[in-house]
Amino acid sequence: RPAVMNAFELISTSQGLNLGVLFEK
């Protein structure tokens, strides 16, 4: 349930923070 989620947990799922994409061929 989103109401108990940590805000930073939510933020860290942001697409712009997924640098793994850089390494995908």
Partner 1 sequence: CCDLDLHKQPKGLEDPEILARETVFSVSEIEALYELFKKISSAVVDDGFINKEEFQLALFKTSQKESLFADRVFDLFDTKHDGILGFEEFARAISVFHPNAPIDDKIEFSFQLYDLKQQGFIERQEVKQMVVATLAESGMNLSDEIIESIIDKTFEEADTKHDGKIDKEEWRSLVLRHPSLLKNMTLQYLKDITTTFPSFVFYSQVDD
Give least dist CB 18 to partner 1, A: 6
Count of positions on this chain that bind partner 1 (CB under 8 A)? 24
Q: From CA 4, how far away is CA 23, in angstroms rounded?
A: 33
- Give the Cα separation of 8 and 12 in Å (integer): 6
Give the shortest CB-13-to-partner 1 separation in angstroms: 7
Interface of this chain with partner 1, residues 1 to 25, rule: CB under 8 A = 2-25
Residues that bind partner 1 (CB under 8 A): 2-25
